[in-house]
Amino acid sequence: MHDDSRIVADRLDRALTQRVLPAVYSASVPLTVEAWHVPGEPVPVGEALAAEYAPFEIGTRWGAPWSTTWFRLDGVVPGAWAGKRVEVVLDLGFAGGWPGNQAEALVYDAAGSPLKGIEPRNQYVPVANPAAGGERVRLLVEAAANPDILGGGFVPTPLGDKETAGDEPLYRLIRADVAMLDEPVWHLGLDLQVLGELMAELSPAEPRRHEILRAVERALDALDLHDVSGTAKTARAELADVLARPAHASAHTLSSVGHAHIDSAWLWPIRETVRKTSRTFSNVTALAREYPELVFACSQAQQYAWVKERYPEVYSRIVAAVKAGQWRPVGGMWVEADGNLPGGEAMARQLIHGKRFFLEEFDVDCAEVWLPDSFGYTAAFPQLAKLAGARWFLTQKLSWNQTNKLPHHTFWWEGIDGSRIFTHFPPVDTYNAEFSGAEVAHAVRNYAEKGRGTRSLVPFGHGDGGGGPTREMLERARRLRDLEGSAKVVIEPPAEFFRAAEAEYPDAPVWSGELYLELHRATYTTQARTKAGNRRSEHLLREAELWAATATVHFGASYPCERLDRLWKTVLLHQFHDILPGSSIAWVHREAEETYARVHAELTEIIERAVAVLAGPSTVFNAGPKPRAEVAMAPAGTPGGQPLSTGEVAVFAEVPALGSAVIGETSSPDPVVVSGRSLDNGLVRVELDENGLLSVRDLVTGRDVFAPGSAGNLLQLHDDLPNQWDAWDLDRHYRNRCRDLTSVEAITVTENGPLAGEIRVERAFGASRIVQRIRVCAGSPQIDVVTELDWHESEKILKAAFPLDVHAARTASEIQFGHVERPTHTNTGWDAARFEVYAHRWIHVAEPGYGVAVLTDSTYGHDAGRATRADGGTTTTLRLSLVRAPHSPDPHADQGAHRFTYSLLPNASVADAVAAGYALNLPLRVASGTAPPAPPLVAVEETAVVVEAVKLADDLSGDIIVRLYESLGGRSTVTLRTGFPLATAEPADLLERPLRTPPVTHDDNVVRLTLRPFQIVTLRLRRS
């Protein structure tokens, strides 16, 4: 037989695109349109109902960037359409194929009740009751003129902020009709699309491909292209047999769930996400009424909370859909947070607040962590997930890896403590599936577990705020449920997939450690002020809870539970995976900085109120988990110390962990001696050369910290233009061009002992300026680099290098509730791909007998490598990534003022790094008052064990919640003493619920525990 398959396929393509699909609506009548352009930010529907509207012609431009136009539509269904399926069809001027990043609308009825969202691939609204014909159609359309930020590629655009976007209209209203849906034609189009796409994926050697080809050919022969409506049923009849053929018994099963990945901010501001949720959730609840098989999985408790507050009618429909089983809350997190950068307690609170919301609102205890789009995942996740009551983990993002393909799609993921969680990566490689033939075939071909597992998960629906699943997707799923040549598509809840997958593959392989994304490495650095705001907010929240709880327990002060709950949720929202990573538009990051400033002010007020209750005369407070003996800043008039500035003095204090002490009761250590460009405190000697670079002599061990011939704190400026994804990516080729910043404007002694010495180094480069104060304090080997940067470079990255005279095979980097080790070599492609990584408060390198830590108060990104010198020694170089300057999506990212500190700690163990990292991020507080001395609420007598949180229980019972963990990776037996009469001590999960574990032993206000490596323990302590 002659091969005419290409000819038939081309015939099908043209018939579909030029005849069948355009005939889906067999008749239409224009509606009368009126418009009201909102003169500012979006308004509630009640205000729009009362507004004055003006006539608006089809074809007229509308919508300045980020503006809102309300359209009022009016018309009558023709009487001849009685009994037909009638819809209003709107085209707001959609451009391109991306449904989630352009004009959108929410349609209301004449009374102001939300009906359905309108997006580029979902343009219809059903008319309620056209059975008799002649029905009046009155609708209100809230149209959002959201600009297409990436429409021109990764190039600078002013459209990312309403303050710079201008007022030129973006869109033109193309269509506002009442139309009659020709259902036979619509179904014919779907039949032909599904079969044509399946045929294209089958091998030419497969008989099934040719059976479909001939059936399609017969259908096209039966179709009169000049009377598509009249012949559609006849054409469909020719396809009935091939559509009825059942799938093979061994066909892969695609467990499919409706989905709408809505970024809580990204190429739009938070306020627009609130509206995106209303549109998508209206779509889904409307679709659920028409398609009873629909199951929709939706994460992010924050988005539910927005809808509950702003769109109560939509929320009531969600509640009903949850009860009906068609809507499944998943994930159990407040937002789909970044998977690397949130601190340990913040990651716990993501799960706590998310799971508690779903439990209280829907009586649903989410069993899975649902993070399809975050940029890699901390090795602390498995333990945190299990402690929150989760059993499963889902993501898709690692399919984006540039270099190495993860060898599994279904596996057990093992965290740093040994906890394992059953994990799945959908091999369809998208969380926005549409059931195209290419997607379905790719999922089967790509699935790595063939021969062991038989099923994978497919989240389907338009994402990024694009409206979620559509009726076309559900119709495709119906046709693919049991179709020869295809995988079997089964719509079911995620939990049913996970249960079945775990049951058939209980001995799935194990992946141990972090899930590192070999892409988007710059998200550890971009938008440094956003990251600094997050880090400081996390530590202020710790302080606020600790001191407020201490004041409540010891002095009966009121505990600000509602304020703390609100502030935590604000910080958790801003940990969303396009806010904290720095990959959003300018508007988002401008507002984030403003929000962090308000959070800082309110938390400071809470802390100061609590400290005022607790303070005696000249009292210093230590919110850190380890005792401290160090220099602190105190108000003028406090005993001891050398004045540093008007109204402040430096004092030396010894303070217990999580507690307070009176200043002046301890003797000061050896003084700091400042001589020329050197600082010496008897523990370290720091010398600055003529370029302001550092050499450090460890006076305790008698060794130089930096490698021979090198200097520390070398600032290095690299060109930084990734191949794409400007704010996200740091490509390896950035290293090919580097400029060492050695020119110096001034070196000045700014503090001359005895408790602190400080030398100021000023540099200018390009259009930027940096001032760094190299600071050494009495009694500590730590060298602080207090930095003020005025940054105005373009497409550059600034790094600070520390070439250490240490032979280190690996680094240890702090993550949530522990640390991970990463090689300093590049033996394998997996090692080489980790050329930029993240850490939280510290990075540590060591050879046997000697280690060095680098500490940070706000930065995360860094790199590490080693080289052999001519003298045979090894130099291990740590480089902190300080700021970047990408142009997309925010053309001014990182521009302007930055303030941060990083520090060098010689002769440090990992335990030293843990303590110093907390200390740098939790400066001692000094206050004066009249309170009698009060002990810390809890005290822990074990070096390896760290108290992460002390607070009152969320149920307002007055119980004290203490969360602690083993920080060094070994076993620890710990004694915890309470500063109050203890009645009971009970292990709890993250949600403060009792665990089914043996009770902890306690007597005489002492609790005894044994912790495994990196174990997290939450204790609920009840007072007598």
Annotated catalytic sites, by residue?
A: 373
* Beta carbons of 628 and 903 less than 8 angstroms apart: no
> Helical H runs in 615-757?
none
Q: How many whole angstroms separate alpha carbon 529 and alpha carbon 717? A: 19
Whether the upstream peptide bond of residue 889 has omega within 30° of 0, thus cis, is yes
Those residues whose C-beta lies under 8 Å from the C-beta of residue 316, and which sit 6 or more positions away, are: none
Rounded alpha-carbon distances, angstroms, from residue 570 to 339, 352, 353, 574, 813: 18, 14, 11, 7, 27
DSSP 246: P
Residue 102 identity: Q
Q: How many whole angstroms separate alpha carbon 637 and alpha carbon 271? A: 48
* Beta carbons of 650 and 757 less than 8 angstroms apart: no
Those residues whose C-beta lies under 8 Å from the C-beta of residue 50, and which sit 6 or more positions away, are: none
* Beta carbons of 480 and 279 less than 8 angstroms apart: no
Residue 57 identity: E
CB atoms within 10 A of CB 263: 24
The helix/strand/coil state of 864 is strand
Query: In sequence order, what are the beta bridge partners of 160?
Result: none
Structure-token pair, residue 835: 């050329």
Q: In terms of residues, how long is the chain?
A: 1024
* Beta carbons of 458 and 254 less than 8 angstroms apart: yes
Residue 893 identity: A
Whether the upstream peptide bond of residue 722 has omega within 30° of 0, thus cis, is no
Place of tokens 């399926």: 85
Structure-token pair, residue 995: 């665990």
Nearest to 393 by CA among 365, 408, 372: 372
Place of tokens 């400066």: 923
* Beta carbons of 175 and 89 less than 8 angstroms apart: yes
Residue 200, judged by CB atoms within 10 A of its CB (0-12, 13-18, 19+), counts as middle
Question: Torsion-angle region of residue 140: left (phi > 0), alpha (psi -120 to 50) or beta?
Answer: beta
Q: How many whole angstroms separate alpha carbon 298 and alpha carbon 378? A: 23
Q: How many whole angstroms separate alpha carbon 478 and alpha carbon 458? A: 15
* Beta carbons of 252 and 440 less than 8 angstroms apart: no
Whether the upstream peptide bond of residue 1013 has omega within 30° of 0, thus cis, is no
Name the helix (H) or strand (E) containing 411: strand 410-414
* Beta carbons of 287 and 471 less than 8 angstroms apart: yes
Q: How many whole angstroms separate alpha carbon 776 and alpha carbon 831? A: 36
Torsion angle in degrees (nearest 10) through CA of 376, 380, 384, 387: 140
Rounded alpha-carbon distances, angstroms, from residue 450 to 409, 445, 447, 1012: 10, 9, 6, 36
* Main-chain phi, psi angles of 90, to 5 degrees: -125, 135
* Beta carbons of 990 and 352 less than 8 angstroms apart: yes
Place of tokens 């200097």: 711
* Main-chain phi, psi angles of 412, to 5 degrees: -95, 125
Radius of gyration for the alpha carbons in the chain, expressed in angstroms and rounded? 31
